[in-house]
Amino acid sequence: MHIRVDEAIQGVCLISLLATIDLVVRRVAIFWNNRPLTWRGRGTSKENGLDTFPLELNIERLLRQGLAQRVDQWYADARSGRTQLDFDDWLAGMALPGTAASAGIRIRQNDLSFVLRHGARYAIVDAARGQRVFECRIDGRLPIVAFVDGTGKRGPWLTIPRLFTIEEIVSMRELP
């Protein structure tokens, strides 16, 4: 069996090119992993995959029907027997923040803004309804809240748009 010289040269060139690309990729990877972290914005937390600053969203961009997909998922789990929980208890265990929202979500409404964190409880005050407490969960990038009564019983999960008055937003504080 004979190989023509021009085919052998092309094969050697291709192998040489692949070896050079491999070397360059390895050097860049070593440089990238050893360089100092100088930017301290979004995505630079020391913990892998966690953010140090809340994700910022305008309240108008939050989906009012954001739980529809979760309702469908719960129905499927309930029909198949994978869950015996009611929707609100099931959602409390299933809702997890996405990586971008791991430090919470800063929600802007006109000139006001407030931060909600996954699993935190908050107190708000309204002249008409008095003080109320609610619990927050973040499902991906969707903040949902459930009001908690005096006995500690959680109500249904609600989405944020048109839920709070300006007075309640101003009075909002995170509970320990």
pLDDT greater at residue 25 or residue 67: 67
What's the average model confidence in pLDDT over 114-138?
Answer: 93
Residue 118 reports pLDDT greater than 50: yes
Q: Across residues 49-70, what is the average pLDDT?
A: 77
Contacts of 92 (CB under 8 A, 6+ apart): 137, 146, 154, 157
51 has a pLDDT exceeding 60: no
Question: Per-residue pLDDT tens for 6-43?
Answer: 665 666 666 776 777 776 677 666 555 555 444 444 44
Does the structure show a pLDDT above 60 at 50?
A: no
CA angle 145, 98, 40 (to 5 degrees): 110
- Secondary structure string (H, E, C) spanning 14-31: HHHHHHHHHHHHHHHHHH
Count of residues making up the chain: 176
CA distance 96 to 70: 12
Statement: residue 147 has pLDDT above 60: yes
If you average pLDDT over residues 59-64, what whole number do you get?
74
